[in-house]
Chains A and B, each alone.
Chain A
């Protein structure tokens, strides 16, 4: 192996799949071999059987649906409000000076610590779940977008000025298109965080969703279901990630990213 030498596409796929194989093999060895008590860790076959039962008998599809809806809801609201604010902060320094200190502070407030407060304010309905996700990702989006927009190469802006662009043209035709691929990349990253927050929100005070199923299964010592739920989240994350990546490549063909 030499540093930074690329691998062929086929080898890349084989290596990527290889790790999953090793992972499942180690898991099978530990469980089927009797090295780990079944009470604490179900084997892969049991996990799949439990997963099938979840969908077939317990209406798990509805839980998955509601969780996906919550993630998307909270994420979209945060993005709709956060991206424009971040752009404004990145483009206009007085706006940045006004918001930046507070946003930096708010960013460190742990969204999960707000859950008890949010339950008092918004009950245990959907509004509370969306709020947890919103608090978790909104401030991050704002700051990251502001940094991206603010780091536009000065020369591009200056070139646009010498071509007759005004402040409006600079924002719309230079800062925005320049930042767009990185903003999309940031949103892809943040969507992953939203998944963490939704499960936390569902672990406490929820009557539906993947997180709720996981807490229920814990009470029943059904580790197969718990693991299936966790893997389910991973799979959805993987799919959304691929979708995001594909969309970015389609939308921004000029970008190398």
Chain B
């Protein structure tokens, strides 16, 4: 069983040149059960990426702690795979070599590496692109490779930080379907950060809404849509109701950041 516990995690950044410190995250408590697909939804600057980075071990909390399977997270590790918003494939490695990177790092035998790489490249639909370098790939293909690279390590939890944020609308929709299908088949625990409401609902079992700066959990909404989900679910009344509700929550938060002027205008 892999269970993630975020136990009162807060993060304050020191002030620049004697300025007041910035509170990015007021202490947050969150539990993610085994095989859950959780999306963290919030406006820009609500600290959702900071939270994800702390879970990944790339940032340290000012207070609180993160436990994965009861073990406190203190540094990044192969048990928490991460996909970033920016393209982070290693440009000097081919698709296959990129997918093998983590396996190589953790000492998996070469034959097994090749087998796993083939398996995951197939899963993300990149057969035939094994020998391509990242710069020959489209943005969507690069992010698919990044997902394969993270999953090849068999992490206990997959962390995604707005991975489809830089993609065009159509590609983004296809990527959501791909990731959802992967999760429905593989059942791994996923923590997905986004500011896109539709994206948050479509894939998640639970949407955690975060408030604007300083970030805290504002609402925790279950998504009672049956699996496997088809993209047409986005046009069902149940989906629309959820979307309307979350839009209201997020709008209130966005207004706090952008100022009340827009609301009264």
Contacts and interface: CB of A to CB of B under 8 A. Distances in A.
A6 B225 CA distance: 54
A166 B105 CA distance: 8
Interface in A99-154: 153
A252 B101 contact: no
Count class of interface residues, chain B? 20 to 34
Contact of A158 (B76, B104, B135): B76
A163 interface: yes
Given A156-B88, A159-B88, A177-B90, A164 B105 contact: yes
A163 B58 contact: no
Contacts of B64: none
Interface in B67-97: 75-78, 80-82, 84, 86, 88, 90-93
Contact of B92 (A159, A164, A169, A252): A252
A256 interface: yes
B90 A174 contact: yes
A164 B154 CA distance: 11
A257 to B, nearest CB: 11
Contacts of A163: 78, 81, 101-102, 105, 149-150, 153
Interface residues of A, number: 23
A255 interface: yes
A170 to B, nearest CB: 10
Contact of B135 (A156, A164, A177, A254): A254
Contacts of B93: 177, 254
Contacts of B86: 155
Given A162-B78, A254-B91, A254-B133, 14 more contacts: A158-B82, A159-B82, A159-B84, A161-B75, A162-B82, A163-B101, A163-B102, A163-B149, A164-B77, A165-B101, A165-B105, A177-B90, A252-B92, A255-B91
